[in-house]
Chains A and B, each alone.
Chain A
Amino acid sequence: MGQVKKYIVGCFDDEKVLFPAVKKVRAAGYKIQDVYTPMPIHGLDHALGMRETSLHTAGFIYGITGTTTALTCMSWVFTSDWPLNIGGKPHLPLPAFIPITFELTVLFAAVGMVLTFCYLCQLAPFVKKHHFHERATDDLMVMVIECTERTNEEEVKAMLNSNGAVEVNVQEAPVGWWLGRYDRPSKLFKTREVAY
């Protein structure tokens, strides 16, 4: 928070139009900050040149952690911390450890992944971010291009318009996220009236 940047915003209502536009804007050398879409659009991440997420690898590691935690804890408790004779079963009843081992594997993987996801995407209650267009969660795909001192605003706007954008404007927006409520306008940055 604090830092405010200037962005050119172009809105599209059809993904068939969006993809060529993305290609052209990138070819022209402009940096697309992000595209906000109401639903996941297959292939858009690749079109924007994003690398594959390694969230699932993280999940795998969390899972393995769960497996080891479960197995070592149970084995330690039953064989060394307090070995009990329960029903004449061996002190290391491996078949009986499988269910809990499995459950903890899944639990660690799932919880770890969701927390990592929230951390990476900066999602939490009372987190507020700048929204470039309110219809970005409805039916518009909102392309956001960051303005630097070398950006020719008019040229970009014209390019977006000629590539099928249904709406084009320029906004100043704070970078990142801050704590805030959606029922109150944010007082944390100097506002310039935007689309809504």
Chain B
Amino acid sequence: MSLLKYESTLREPLVDGDYSVYREVTYGIGQWNLNKTIGWGWDITNFVWWVGIGHAGTLISAILLLFRQGWRTGVNRAAEAMTIFAVMCAGQFPIFHMGRVWDAFFVLPYANSRGPLWVNFASPLLWDVFAISTYFTVSLLFWYSGLIPDFATIRDRAKTKARKLWYGVVSFGWTGSTKHWQRHESLSLVLAGLSTPLVLSVHTIVSFDFATSVVPGWHTTIFPPYFVAGAIFSGFAMVQTLMLVTRKVMKLDDYITLGHIEAMNKVIVLTGSIVGIAYLTELFMAWYGGSKFEYDAFYKYRIAGPYGWSYWTMMTCNVISPQLFWSKKLRRNVAFTFIMSIVVNIGMWFERFVIIVTSVYRDYIPSSWSVYYRPSIWEVGFYLGTFGLFFTCYFLFSKFAPVIAIAEIKHVLKTSGESFKEKMDVIEKESVEHFAHGHAH
């Protein structure tokens, strides 16, 4: 069974998105409801949102690998794929939010024909260019190097010529030689080690886009770790959403167990609470700092004021509702988890919206204060378009590539299953001294 049968329902958002982008490029950003005060709205909100989602995959495969959390193997491959597709979606926004997309290559550092005019290496947006492209590349390499042995497994089971050709090409001639495995292990470990700080750096740099500025509500030092926590939070929520669907449709209940779901819910409640502390810290500092602009940004325009509803949506979805996961029963409830995963995604979207829009719409000088910002149909269309792209890519992936890391699962199967449980029962009953003696190094 394949998820691809849902593809037709995605055609509409994709086409919608394409047309929105076409209009933006031909006629201009003026069709969006941004203005001289609100320079960024849905575009950058969506960018940050997608990038945040794109953190979970690498996080699961890298950090949890280093922390030896065995449960990650069930979900890591699909989560990594999700990462790559989410970053692809994210990348579109900073590109197409430019006034002159056709000159987007100006951000690349090369000595151009106008003389050695370089880029501004001190601009957070340029750091973004480096961070997002590095992250995309490294995630892709990490994901693909893990896929090679699995592709080889499928290649050797393939029945049709087309499949033999396709999997033959993508498996790079993998044989499973011991030396290759040794190098492969070393590669995975180092890539995991590199990806861990990388994944933190990406959202850190995204947060620098705001935190380096002088805009009240943007400039705050807690942003880097707080954005990272938020990214993990939203990323895990998106993994839950997708995995629960994949699990259901492809009948992977034995591979993605309630244990996996519960573990991810624990991460969600942890990161949700970290984010919550950060929200409260910001609120406190806005008062404590003694700057009127900062105070107004939080107390007049965020928790109250015309955008108050978005702030409270964010608070409810991100901080209050995940606390329900303290209950073990709810953590292991699939339907509830699915609903919560969507709630968290909505909440995290609003977090970025609140940060971006409520900060710029009224900053320093009252004469420039802006009106209430509503997105135009083209901004919404563009956003929906990335959904189409994301799910199309994900469904194609689930059709043509293994959603479960085959080789890794084989590795893990040694430490689970029935015979393992029997063995464990014996060990349970042994005394510590006896056990230790038997396992002396």
**Chain A residues packing against B (C-beta within 8 Å):** 34-41, 44-45, 48, 50, 52-53, 55-56, 59, 63, 73-74, 77-78, 81-82, 84, 86-87, 89, 93, 96-97, 99-100, 102-104, 106-107, 109-111, 113-114, 117-118, 120-129, 131, 134-139, 142, 177, 181-183
Q: Is the CB of A36 within 8 A of B187?
A: no
What 3 A-B pairs come out closest when comparing CB atoms?
Answer: A182-B168, A127-B173, A96-B122
How many angstroms between the C-alpha atoms of A50 and B42 in the bound complex? 55
B153 is contacted by which of A87, A122, A123, A138 (Cβ under 8 Å)?
A138
**Is B127 on the interface with A (CB-CB < 8 A)?**
yes
Q: Is the CB of A129 within 8 A of B122?
A: no
Q: Is the CB of B198 within 8 A of A106?
A: yes
A138: shortest Cβ distance to chain B, in Å? 6
Interface residues of B in 115-131 (CB under 8 A from A): 115-118, 120-122, 124, 126-127, 130-131
Task: Tell me whether chain B's interface is mostly helix, strand or loop, or mixed.
Answer: helix
B264: shortest Cβ distance to chain A, in Å? 24
For A196, the closest partner residue in chain B by CB is B156
Pick the most buried of B169, B189, B408: most chain A CB atoms within 10 A of its CB.
Answer: B169
Given A63-B194, A111-B137, A128-B168, 15 extra CB contacts under 8 A: A35-B178, A37-B181, A56-B186, A56-B189, A56-B190, A73-B109, A81-B116, A81-B118, A82-B116, A82-B117, A103-B127, A107-B137, A123-B148, A127-B173, A183-B162
Can you list 27 A-B contacts (CB < 8 A)?
A: A35-B177, A36-B176, A38-B410, A39-B149, A53-B186, A59-B194, A84-B120, A97-B122, A99-B124, A99-B201, A100-B127, A102-B201, A104-B130, A106-B134, A110-B142, A117-B145, A121-B180, A121-B183, A126-B169, A128-B173, A129-B173, A136-B176, A137-B155, A137-B156, A139-B410, A181-B168, A182-B155
**Is B161 on the interface with A (CB-CB < 8 A)?**
yes
Cβ–Cβ < 8 Å partners of B186 in chain A: 53, 55-56
Known contacts A38-B153, A39-B408, A56-B186; is-contact A131 B161 (Cβ 8 Å): no
A37 is contacted by which of B111, B130, B176, B187 (Cβ under 8 Å)?
B176
Q: Is the CB of A182 within 8 A of B194?
A: no
Cβ–Cβ < 8 Å partners of A117 in chain B: 145, 183-184, 187
Known contacts A117-B184, A182-B168; is-contact A123 B127 (Cβ 8 Å): no
